[in-house]
Structure 1
Amino acid sequence: MKKVLVITYYWPPAGGSGVQRWLKFVKYFREFGVEPIVYTVKKPNYPIIDTSLENEIPKGVKVIKQPIWEPNNLLSLFGKKKTESAGFLNPNPTFVGKVLQYIRANYFIPDARKFWVKPSVKYLKKYLKETDIDCVITTGPPHSLHLIGLQLKQQLPIKWIADFRDPWTEIDYFHQLPLSKNAIKKHHFLESEVLKNADAVLVVGNTMKKNYEAFSKNILTITNGFDGEIKPVQIALDSKFTCTHIGLMNADRNPKMLWDVFSELCLENESFKNDFQLKLIGKIDPSILKDIDTHQLSNNVEVIDYVSHKEVLEFQQKSQVLLLVVNNVPSAKGIITGKIFEYLMAKRPILAIAPSDGDLAEILNNTNAGTSVNFDDKLELKKKILNLYAAYKEGKLQIQSKNIEQFHRKELTKKVAELIIELTK
């Protein structure tokens, strides 16, 4: 068995999307000759908690936890609730909020977990010298964890894999950060140092791979995926024409064109209005709910806060249509929302608002699982929804997806294990 040390910030009881990728790799590693050891944070400030995920940690897997000091905790002094990722980017900040955003962006590079780097390197240097480890893996965001791998690589004879669940300087909110020129320069420098020094780099999409090929010659695309058996769904479909979006929908992901189309269809078609129900499951920015209300859709909307992963799967399987929305940002082509893979397992029609020539659209086309409409193509979006509704009325709203087995977490883990074994020969 090859032994790997996985360095990750998100680990059960953390909920949300950030924890899924490496929890699943750890779950299946042993089947492919890899014994994982997890290094993570002690008493972290997770924005979402899902204790049910703790049941998926394989028995006997060693989990090492070390304390972390998180300056994000100081935000609570200003009445700021716990937020995930770039949640600190309030579109209408107060003066104090602007100051906090500037400090966060320019003094906590690459992110607010940077203070875990130095103590982690100190602890892990000793641990690695005393333990037979074949490979170290870091996963980000937060990308500060890659700096742990970088420093360990520079100081010890180890093999190191850097896994990018999201890009660094091409991440969707990077352009919104109030960064100085020096801060931008530092981000790019650190990113390139990680890419050049890692023995291998994992990315979740082909666009990211192309962007990183200038820095690294050993890049492997390992998408996110779904877990569980692929079998006929036994759950009865919703009686309403439900269009369901699952996951975080922040202000930067507000699909105003979608609200326009739904509103027009309700005004133009009484039958559609009576049948239509929009389900939003997860954290929804107040500005989005305000837009929905402005479009007079509130009576057709059901908003459900965070639910367990098991319940999420049931909502997906019952829905008539599953909605995906990509942030309308410069890096949109490379964004692959993690939910697409569980959507695939649900085997319900997927309607995405995303670049039709992006990575997400490529997956939908290759699996025949749905369609993607460009951000500004309102007529096409309206046409697609009407076609889906017509099929629903006829009781024929089904899809015949294909090639989705390649996205099973077990298959993806096999590829990562093969890389580890090859790298550590």
Structure 2
Amino acid sequence: MRKKVLIVSYYWPPAGGPGVQRWLKFIKYLPDFNIEPIVYIPENPNYPIVDESLLSEVSESLTIIKQPISEPYKLAGLFSKKKTDTISKGIITSDEKQSALEKSLLFIRGNFFIPDARKSWVKPSVVFLENYIKNEGIDTVITTGPPHSLHLIGLQLKKKLNVNWLADFRDPWTTIGYHKQLKLTKSAKNKHLQLERDVLNTADRILVTSHVTKAEFKTKTDKPISVITNGYDVNHIAKPALDSSFTLAHIGSLLSKRNPVILWQVLSDLIAENMDFAKDFKLNLIGFVSEDILKSIEKYNLSNYLNKIGYVSHEEAIIFQKKSQVLLLIEINSPDTRCIIPGKLFEYMVSERPIIALGPDGSDVAEILKETNTGTYFKYADYDALKLQIQAHFDAYKKGALESHGIGLQKYSRKALTKTLAELL
């Protein structure tokens, strides 16, 4: 008899973006390990990104239960749909350039909706799930956040039913970078910290995606913490021809704070110094890009080399990964982002294209790239080394010899990661 596990998630197809991928893939493979997943999601969510193609990955035999959710983003959209949409996507204008309206929306979001804007779903979900869990004989519940309010559903179900509860943190809670932009009052900060402590010290097990987050949480709880990273899934997309130009491609959102000025400087200098580079180079940005990033690109005279493609489906993103000459992975230059391992990293690694990554010192990403021989990691002060690497990639491209040879990638496959999860369950 299969073990039933209830998974509480906000993001689910047709939601797009990175938040949906982790549990979509776990749920895909859990039945292979004699576990029956049951998914609980909102009936009427306000997804900032939609990707209908992901619906094809949901098994027809999967049990999905839904309850309505009330979200303030819909009301806020009456005042400024554009600003509300960008904030809900995580694109926040730099502090000095924020309008009075944007400052007000961020203050309200940060101080009146703790831990987040989906908090109103907690109470009705607990009422509904308490009966459902009893009736279905479920003894294990998994909550995944962000949004971290979903962990409060697990917290209350643990207290009421004493179910086995795993809290999965795709990102940290109080140390995540955007918290500093929410204009939190002292009391709001303290409430976040208290809720975080309650969750970390009540759950039976904590799941995290990076060793940096595990180290942080170990200072806050004695509960067992397991690292299960994100990963890559097998896809059947034919390998496209490589771009004829020397393309550097970034796939995913580029937020205002994620602005690699050192990269724009290096590219600008290489263009000025090398006529061949200037003739062949293209910068492809696939995904949402903030105005601050575009202005920075313009400042370094790169606008004529830019292809701003916008958001694409997950399948299209994989095609871009496979056909680009070099893949860019950009993270905010802050100690708070050392724990961030973007889900796209693992898809990058199996694309057989070299990766150039920029981020803070001590990042988990640097260790993974080194371990798998899939790319090179640079800190924001590494101008000379970054320039030499891009020049070396360009020289290899000109010779038709620009390749990537990853090693030990199998352990990051979605099925291998699901096996690890199943063993914990």
CA distance, structure 1, for counterparts of residue 410 and residue 361 of structure 2 = 23
1:227 is matched with: 233
8 Å Cα contact 1:349-1:399 kept in structure 2: yes
8 Å Cα contact 1:201-1:216 kept in structure 2: no
1:288 is matched with: 293
1:60 is matched with: 61
1:251 partner amino acid: S
Q: What's the C-alpha RMSD, in Å, of the aligned pairs?
A: 1.5
8 Å Cα contact 1:251-1:287 kept in structure 2: yes
Aligned residue pair count: 419
1:357 aligns with 2:358: no
8 Å Cα contact 2:252-2:288 kept in structure 1: yes
**For 1:356-393, what per-residue CA distance to the aligned partner results, in whole angstroms no more than 9, with x for missing partners?**
53100010001000010001221111111111111111
1:404 is matched with: 409
8 Å Cα contact 2:411-2:417 kept in structure 1: yes
8 Å Cα contact 2:9-2:41 kept in structure 1: yes
CA distance, structure 2, for counterparts of residue 51 and residue 262 of structure 1 = 36
2:375 is matched with: 370
Correspondence 1:261-340 to 2 at 5 A: 261-340=266-345
CA distance, structure 1, for counterparts of residue 124 and residue 415 of structure 2 = 33
CA distance, structure 1, for counterparts of residue 140 and residue 168 of structure 2 = 13
CA distance, structure 2, for counterparts of residue 319 and residue 59 of structure 1 = 35
Gaps of 5+ in 2: none
Correspondence 1:139-158 to 2 at 5 A: 139-158=144-163
1:52 partner amino acid: S
Correspondence 1:77-116 to 2 at 5 A: 77-81=78-82, 82-83=85-86, 84-87=88-91, 91=95, 92-116=97-121
CA distance, structure 2, for counterparts of residue 20 and residue 14 of structure 1 = 9
**For 1:212-254, what per-residue CA distance to the aligned partner results, in whole angstroms no more than 9, with x for missing partners?**
11313311000001111599x7422111111000001010111
Using the TM superposition, give the Cα deviation of residue 87 of structure 1 relative to its aligned residue in structure 2, in angstroms. 3.6
Secondary structure in structure 1 of the residue aligned to 2:377: strand
Using the TM superposition, give the Cα deviation of residue 287 of structure 1 relative to its aligned residue in structure 2, in angstroms. 1.6
1:423 is matched with: none
CA distance, structure 2, for counterparts of residue 234 and residue 26 of structure 1 = 27
CA distance, structure 1, for counterparts of residue 345 and residue 289 of structure 2 = 18
CA distance, structure 2, for counterparts of residue 303 and residue 358 of structure 1 = 28
1:39 is matched with: 40
1:20 partner amino acid: Q
CA distance, structure 2, for counterparts of residue 216 and residue 248 of structure 1 = 35
Secondary structure in structure 2 of the residue aligned to 1:271: helix
CA distance, structure 1, for counterparts of residue 306 and residue 98 of structure 2 = 28
8 Å Cα contact 1:356-1:372 kept in structure 2: no
Secondary structure in structure 2 of the residue aligned to 1:122: helix
CA distance, structure 1, for counterparts of residue 370 and residue 307 of structure 2 = 30
**For 1:299-335, what per-residue CA distance to the aligned partner results, in whole angstroms no more than 9, with x for missing partners?**
1111111111111111101111000001112312211
8 Å Cα contact 1:355-1:361 kept in structure 2: no
1:30 is matched with: 31
**For 1:42-67, what per-residue CA distance to the aligned partner results, in whole angstroms no more than 9, with x for missing partners?**
11110111111111011211111111
CA distance, structure 1, for counterparts of residue 306 and residue 267 of structure 2 = 11
Secondary structure in structure 1 of the residue aligned to 2:329: strand
Residues 294 and 74 of structure 1, relative CA distance in 2, 3 Å threshold: same
2:251 is matched with: 246
CA distance, structure 1, for counterparts of residue 133 and residue 367 of structure 2 = 41
2:352 partner amino acid: K
1:127 to 129, 132, 144: 132
Correspondence 1:148-227 to 2 at 5 A: 148-214=153-219, 215-227=221-233
Secondary structure in structure 2 of the residue aligned to 1:254: coil
CA distance, structure 2, for counterparts of residue 271 and residue 356 of structure 1 = 33
Secondary structure in structure 2 of the residue aligned to 1:178: coil
Secondary structure in structure 2 of the residue aligned to 1:166: coil
**For 1:18-51, what per-residue CA distance to the aligned partner results, in whole angstroms no more than 9, with x for missing partners?**
0000000010010011100000011111011111
Moved over 6 A (4+): none
Secondary structure in structure 2 of the residue aligned to 1:208: helix
8 Å Cα contact 2:167-2:203 kept in structure 1: yes
